[in-house]
Amino acid sequence: MYYNSIIEAIGNTPLVKLNSVSKGIKGTVLVKVEYFNPGNSMKDRMALKMIEDAEKDGTLKPGGTIIEGTSGNTGMGLALVAIAKGYKCVFTLSDKQSQEKIDILRAVGAEVIVCPTNVAPDDPRSYYSVAKKLNEETPNSIYPNQYDNPANAQAHYETTGPEIWEQTEGKITHYAAGVGTGGSMCGTSKFLKEQNGDIVTVGIDSYGSVFKKYKETGVFDEKEIYPYMTEGIGEDILPKNVDFDLIDHFVKVTDKAAAIMTRRLAREEGLFVGWSCGSAVHGALEYAKENLKEDDTMVIILPDHGTRYLAKVYNDNWMKDHGFLESRDFATAQDIIDNKNGQDSLYTVEKSKSIGEVIKMLNEEGVDQLPVVDNGSFVGSVNSAKLLERIIENPELKNSKIEEVMDNPLPFVGMDNTLDVLSSMINKENKAVLVRDDNQKVHIITQHDLLMAMTN
């Protein structure tokens, strides 16, 4: 048996069980290793689908040019399809992409135009805008637009989802993936949820991206947008391929946490993968720590290969320059809890308590925030500053139940998370984080705890 061209080798990538980085996690954690695609990434799937659809509807004609804005992997997939089918390629990339990605695209015959990262999406210099303009100016060209092209998600609905369902024999209970264009997350989720509506889907987002807050509040908050380094995950726009109804939860991951997990996957699992793979695994495992049960099976997509990141996350000097590898050890959540010598009682309040009773408890215990519980489950949180504002606005509220005004539950973090990760999670929205130790005891880490750790 042989393939008539390289594009026939796309798909049917393996599932591999995690054994080391997932220690302590209940259930089975599997990763779908997409670097087995010929272009070394999952983007091969949708690149082929977008081009085939364009051929069918007549927008792409023989000898035409494919123009696309890409973080690198989609470009590689499109380039392979173009080689097999006889098209030209022009790709625009942001300047945060690795040099390896640029070199690889040029090696397969594509023209590459590098654009600035720190500009608005509608800025004429952005890689989105440059690609659109080139498409308008180039005869017999197409702009596939992976962000809004339904073929992106459809490719994963037709291939990735069915493969996972078959490979797990229908036993999958949780699906996790980084969310960028939304195609692999939502196309796969749609298929899996059609097979079993109880499957839980977890989207992994970056700090500096808009997805998580938009999912949870419906607000596109431009204040959430700021530069970050991880490639191929998160967005400063809302692509049409991101169907938030198909994503049950979002977990945000820092650049550093993603980079460190990427290196751990190579060193401990033999999986030489890309940076966003580290994001996906770190975020998925953070969710799994609190939510996976013994009989559950989680599948995490690993989008690409480590060769794209040799000069970045796999380069010790680069990692040190960006503070991702330190000459001294950063304190961890475990260190902070150990330093309290057992004097870190976690006070909680039942959701049925009145606001007046909660205020009394805050004062008596001398704490600023309290997790709200319901039969042992963490269902919300309150902090003294917000309660004070509410009472001043409406004094009658003190007789209402706390569940009527409580905020979202405080997030759980892993014991191995370092100070920089913890500090990124404790902000205006989250005044503290929770940690569950090996004995299943829950601890709280506050802003004050972080300040103490930083000065020790």
Are 84 and 101 part of one and the same domain? yes
Q: Tens of pLDDT along 121-167?
A: 788 899 889 999 999 999 999 999 988 999 999 999 999 999 999 99
Residue 82 has pLDDT above 70, yes or no: yes
Are 346 and 252 part of one and the same domain? no
**Domain housing 176:** 6-39+151-321
- Check 17, 23, 26, 43 and give the catalytic one: 43
Residue 418 has pLDDT above 80, yes or no: no
Are 115 and 194 part of one and the same domain? no
Phi, psi of 418 (to 5 degrees): -90, 170
Q: Which residues contact 250 (CB under 8 A, 6 or more apart)?
A: 179, 202, 203, 204, 205, 211, 212, 215, 216
Look at residue 326 and tell me if it is in a domain: no
The predicted pLDDT at position 330 comes to 58
Q: Which of 281, 298, 321 is the last residue of a domain?
A: 321
How confident is the model over 272-280, as a mean pLDDT? Answer: 96
Are 345 and 448 part of one and the same domain? yes
The predicted pLDDT at position 327 comes to 43
The predicted pLDDT at position 344 comes to 67
For the entire predicted model, the pTM comes to 0.72
How confident is the model over 228-242, as a mean pLDDT? Answer: 87
Q: Which residues pair with 273 in a beta bridge?
A: 305
The predicted pLDDT at position 456 comes to 62
8 A C-beta contact, residue 146 and residue 54: no
Q: How confident is the model at residue 455 (pLDDT cuts 50, 70, 90)?
A: low
Of all residues in the chain, the percent with pLDDT exceeding 90 is 53
Are 354 and 433 part of one and the same domain? yes
User: 38: helix, coil or strand?
Assistant: coil
Q: How many CA atoms lie within 13 A of 72 on its CB side?
A: 28
The predicted pLDDT at position 183 comes to 93
Are 192 and 310 part of one and the same domain? yes
How confident is the model over 287-295, as a mean pLDDT? Answer: 95
The predicted pLDDT at position 27 comes to 95
DSSP codes joined into one string, 257-319:
HHHHHHHHHHHHH---B-HHHHHHHHHHHHHHHHH--TT-EEEEEE-BBGGGGTTTTT-HHHH
The predicted pLDDT at position 328 comes to 44
CATH of the domain at 212: 3.40.50.1100
Considering its fold, how many domains does the chain have in total?
3
Side by side, the strands of the sheet bearing 369-374 are 349-350, 369-374, 377-383
Q: Tens of pLDDT along 306-362?
A: 998 998 999 998 888 777 875 445 577 888 888 877 666 788 889 888 888 888 888
Active site residue 43: yes
